[in-house]
Structure 1
Amino acid sequence: MQQSVFDLMQQMGHEQLVFCHDPYSGLNAIIAIHNTTLGPALGGTRLWNYNSHEEGVIDALRLSRGMTYKAAISDLNLGGGKAVIIGDANKIKSEGLWRRYGKFVDSLNGKYITAEDVNTSARDMEYISLETEHVTGVPEYMGGSGDPSPFTAYGVFVGMKASAKKVWGNDSLAGKKVLVQGVGHVGQYLVGHLIEAGAKVMISDINETRIKETTDKFKVEVINNSDIFAKEFDVYAPCALGATVNTESISKMKCPIIAGAANNQLAEERVHGPMLIEKGILYAPDFLINAGGLINVSAELDGYNHERVMGNVEKIYNRTLEIFNLSEKENVHTQAAAMMLAEKRLADIANVKSRL
């Protein structure tokens, strides 16, 4: 890591970074708390086999920052946090690991509330809940909201429709070619919405099992990962890991819209946001349109109501159009416009609290 951890925290505006280790369960976790101006930091726990601890730290910092913006722009009274557990999901998952991790979450006294993310599930949240009440997304049979993936996917779908409205004058996706990169839980639900809307769907994934699961359910075209940007399509929907929108990929893209579920899609916001404008590609900011899962799990904190959640997820459509209009008005790229709106709410609430 070229910069020190404290330099990175200061640069990105973080409040706290917690390292958690337990030799008996094999737990190595990092909890990043970015901003608690609006409320406790809520964000999922990602289990990933990072190449190094430094890589895990950077991911936790980037992801938690994104959660702050996601909560702020979605009008939630929550801050931004995220956790990563370093390891192979096929080898280290156990009740002991999750319960020990739950104790670490509990030690933060509610400043951080966890939920599921990549390679974690509602069942894992159930184990965590045995050691702390600061967890959401527990199974429905426990009174929780269950898997947030359908809500994330639906939010991305309505954000994609808003993008279509901006580019083509109407929000129909019928006949549009959409490439969904990454067909995990969210990606598969998104494919379902797109097929129902009459889109022509292409998929890619490094996991052959997920490819088969998707092709067994839906009539889609499978694209090799290395050939993605050699194809022409109308919408690119990154739904796996971040940073797939970078200098190399942008130079090859032949699509007018990017709208997907992955976090931190832009490798470098200040570089690649403007590059997309120059190339004439409309980008639906990730933390704006993938907020459906957060909206869903956050509803557990006040008493879960499915209809209210769906109503709030549907608001992503108009909010996306609002961001596109703000981008044009302020002459900034769409990611910057979304951040401006989120930062204004953070500043307004911070000002109110300072006067109490």
Structure 2
Amino acid sequence: MVFESMIARGHETLVFCHDDASGLRGIIAIHNTTLGPALGGTRRWAYKSEAAAIEDVLRLSEAMTYKAAAADLPMGGAKSVIWTRSPDEKPTESLARAMGRAVERMGGIYIAAEDVGVNTQFIDWMAEETKFVMGGEKVAAGGDPAPFTALGVVSGMRGALRHVGRSKSLKDVVIAVQGLGALGRNVCQIAAGEGAKLLVTDIREELIEDAVKRFGATAVPVDEIISAECDILCPCALGQVITANNIASLRCKIVAPGANNVLDDPDEDAAMLSGRSIIYCPDFVNNGGGLLQLAGLWCGFSAAELDRRIRNIENVIEQILKDAEKMSSAHAAALEYAKKRLEAGRKGPSTPRVRTTKGSATSAQGSA
């Protein structure tokens, strides 16, 4: 079944990692390296089963390939997961170092980064064992990618607003934010600073109280945020929150995700959203700001170039939504957009490729 799943999604490599001393149970999935070495976050999660962990890492790594391609990066897509034994299990230095050693053994084909359940300290611990990790503060470069992901998400919102003929200003735009982790809080901060009206929720009451106090947000029960009446619904928690069972209850005009894989069945659900005239900003494009920041630093982009590329998500989303008018959905249009670049990479060296070397990344065919 594992090989069947890999073949169906087009994966190149799936590696299982175990360390008895730290208790590490890790999986690294390399989906596609056509454009360069594969970058993707390391997620710590208490999966219900080994099968669930495998499915998640395969699904997430595939999305990273399209995210990197859509962002015009000379990198491929990957992901890794650490299967914890309970939701309350605390991250430890020994666990991080064991995962770092596993990444190092990949020889640079995989570059790890921060994801759910992992913070900058965890990344720095990993970086004590491997050169191939981004998103730390003291040892690994990059820092927390959440502010840059949030900037990209808000840029995507602007592209969607322009697509429907509205001003790209967020003033008085009602935005429902599901999830108030680092990403959700950063989205709220940017949007509130521009005068947006925020509806917020999280499973942690203290984060809701903080958002109400800091951003003047209105609290909404967790089980009501998806169907809240708003201009823009912005899921910033885990994936698969929009499904065939709840699309009919949506009362938003635009879905602009911060989270990965927010649609349970992207092909069917995106078409259903289109059928209801709800604008969908494909998640792997809309939330690409964090990837752009970390991958751009790895590739040696300047700060000005990184900022330009992240803000350009606005124009990419607008173009994809225009293309989607002739297709079944915005998801289909975004996939075609990304796959065209992958195909160009297969045909020749028109796109710069990153070559990893010991401790660095250089361009094999000119500067990135």
Q: SS in structure 2 opposite 1:248?
A: coil
Alignment partner of 1:54 is 2:88: no
From 172, 188, 193, the counterpart of 1:191: 188
d(CA) in 2 for partners of 1:302, 1:173: 32
Q: SS in structure 2 opposite 1:157?
A: helix
d(CA) in 1 for partners of 2:148, 2:124: 20
| Structural mapping, 1:196-345, within 5 Å | 196-303=193-300, 305-328=302-325, 330-345=326-341
Match of 1:107 in 2: 105
Length-normalised TM-score, structure 1 = 0.95
Q: SS in structure 2 opposite 1:54?
A: helix
Q: CA 1:169/1:217 → structure 2, altered by over 3 Å: closer, same or farther?
A: closer
Q: CA 1:209/1:56 → structure 2, altered by over 3 Å: closer, same or farther?
A: farther
1:302, CA displacement in angstroms? 3.1
Match of 2:342 in 1: 346
Q: CA 1:229/1:36 → structure 2, altered by over 3 Å: closer, same or farther?
A: closer
Contact in 2 for aligned 1:136/1:297 (Cα 8 Å): yes
**Which runs of 5 or more residues in structure 1 are unaligned?**
none
Alignment partner of 1:10 is 2:7: yes
1:75, CA displacement in angstroms? 0.6
Match of 2:358 in 1: none
**Identity over aligned residues, as a percent?**
39
d(CA) in 1 for partners of 2:87, 2:42: 12
d(CA) in 1 for partners of 2:333, 2:218: 34
Q: SS in structure 2 opposite 1:91?
A: coil
d(CA) in 1 for partners of 2:314, 2:202: 27
Q: Structure 1 segments of 4 or more deviating over 6 A?
A: none
Q: CA 1:337/1:30 → structure 2, altered by over 3 Å: closer, same or farther?
A: same
d(CA) in 2 for partners of 1:272, 1:53: 26
Give the aligned residue type for 2:145.
P
Give the aligned residue type for 2:172.
G
Q: SS in structure 2 opposite 1:17?
A: strand
Contact in 2 for aligned 1:164/1:170 (Cα 8 Å): yes
Give the aligned residue type for 2:328.
V
Contact in 2 for aligned 1:145/1:304 (Cα 8 Å): no
d(CA) in 2 for partners of 1:19, 1:37: 22
1:177, CA displacement in angstroms? 1.2
Q: How many residues align?
A: 350
d(CA) in 1 for partners of 2:4, 2:40: 23
1:324-349 CA-partner distances (Å, limit 9, x unpaired): 11111x32310110110110110111
Contact in 1 for aligned 2:254/2:278 (Cα 8 Å): yes
Contact in 2 for aligned 1:255/1:281 (Cα 8 Å): yes
Contact in 1 for aligned 2:40/2:111 (Cα 8 Å): yes
d(CA) in 1 for partners of 2:49, 2:210: 31
Contact in 2 for aligned 1:47/1:89 (Cα 8 Å): no
1:57-90 CA-partner distances (Å, limit 9, x unpaired): 1110110001000000111000000011111464
Q: SS in structure 2 opposite 1:296?
A: helix
Give the aligned residue type for 1:340.
E
d(CA) in 1 for partners of 2:228, 2:124: 42
65-74 or 330-339: bigger deviation: 330-339
Q: SS in structure 1 opposite 2:264?
A: coil
d(CA) in 2 for partners of 1:224, 1:208: 10
Q: SS in structure 2 opposite 1:101?
A: helix
d(CA) in 2 for partners of 1:142, 1:103: 15
Length-normalised TM-score, structure 2 = 0.92
Match of 2:127 in 1: 129
1:304, CA displacement in angstroms? 6.0
Name the Cα RMSD after superposition: 1.7
Q: CA 1:63/1:325 → structure 2, altered by over 3 Å: closer, same or farther?
A: same
Give the aligned residue type for 1:339.
L
Give the aligned residue type for 2:54.
V
d(CA) in 2 for partners of 1:143, 1:254: 42
d(CA) in 2 for partners of 1:204, 1:12: 34
d(CA) in 2 for partners of 1:168, 1:18: 47
d(CA) in 2 for partners of 1:157, 1:229: 18
Match of 1:39 in 2: 36
81-90 or 254-263: bigger deviation: 81-90
Contact in 2 for aligned 1:20/1:27 (Cα 8 Å): yes
d(CA) in 1 for partners of 2:306, 2:83: 32
Contact in 1 for aligned 2:79/2:112 (Cα 8 Å): yes
1:23, CA displacement in angstroms? 2.0
More helix by share: 1
